[in-house]
Chains A and B, each alone.
Chain A
Amino acid sequence: DQQVKQNSPSLSVQEGRISILNCDYTNSMFDYFLWYKKYPAEGPTFLISISSIKDKNEDGRFTVFLNKSAKHLSLHIVPSQPGDSAVYFCAARGGADGLTFGKGTHLIIQP
């Protein structure tokens, strides 16, 4: 049973617009959430994280929102740029140190 779900395998967004990637989780023990970005033939690269005691964290063009009651988090990228085209993974951790990953969303930024 998947504990972290990214229900959109792909998302296409026009350059300059906002990209919103969504993630749902089921394990209420998760207390730390991360987003990773992955290009082909490379390892995942850390993007942004959020602790469960917060509901928003912002870093430049990237903002992560956490809704604990809904067990939902989202990553907003604004404005979207061509270099943002990649696979984005949502990950969560609770207690143990290993991360539980979603299956990823392939973001395509169109010119």
Chain B
Amino acid sequence: DARVTQTPRDKVTEMGQEVTMRCQPILGHNTVFWYRQTMMQGLELLAYFRNRAPLDDSGMPKDRFSAEMPDATLATLKIQPSEPRDSAVYFCASGSGQAQETQYFGPGTRLLVL
């Protein structure tokens, strides 16, 4: 049963701490997306990769957020330093890279920054 996995599922941290979220895309998918869901903004695209190369990170606050793909089976989203306004659910999704692909979402990481 192929699915996107994300760790941790929940994270509570204090303002100023570093937060790292991990995602394992579906095996064989070459496109990975990071989304953030908040009550006010809904689901927003933060960044995405194709074949491990970052293609668009315009939705991401550059000063504190960074996204990487160390290898084809791991994507990371890091926040340093974290702030209370970063509290949200962060979703990773993967796709096959075809023209009209379906994106498959992971269960999300629920982040609370105190």
- With A43-B4, A44-B91 known to touch, is A99 a contact of B42 (CB < 8 Å)? no
Q: Is B105 within 8 A of A101, CB to CB?
A: no
A45 and B104 CA atoms in complex are apart in Å by 7
Contact-residue bracket for chain A:
20 to 34
Interfacial chain A residues near B48, Cβ < 8 Å: 97-98
A48 to chain B, nearest CB (A): 10
- For the residues of B in contact with A, the DSSP-based class is strand
User: Is the pair B105, A98 in contact by a Cβ cutoff of 8 Å?
Assistant: no
B11 CB to closest chain A CB (Å) equals 14
A residues less than 8 Å from B45 (CB atoms): 98-100
Q: Are B33 and A98 in contact (CB under 8 A)?
A: yes
Q: A residues within 8 A CB of B33?
A: 97-99
Give the 9 A-B CB pairs with smallest separation, nearest first.
A43-B105, A98-B45, A101-B43, A103-B42, A44-B105, A46-B102, A43-B107, A32-B100, A43-B106
A residues near B (Cβ < 8 Å) are 32, 34, 36, 41-46, 49, 51, 89, 96-104
A-B contact pairs, 21 of them (CB 8 A): A34-B103, A42-B108, A43-B4, A43-B91, A43-B106, A43-B108, A44-B43, A44-B91, A46-B102, A49-B100, A97-B50, A97-B56, A97-B95, A99-B33, A99-B35, A99-B43, A99-B45, A99-B103, A100-B45, A101-B43, A101-B44
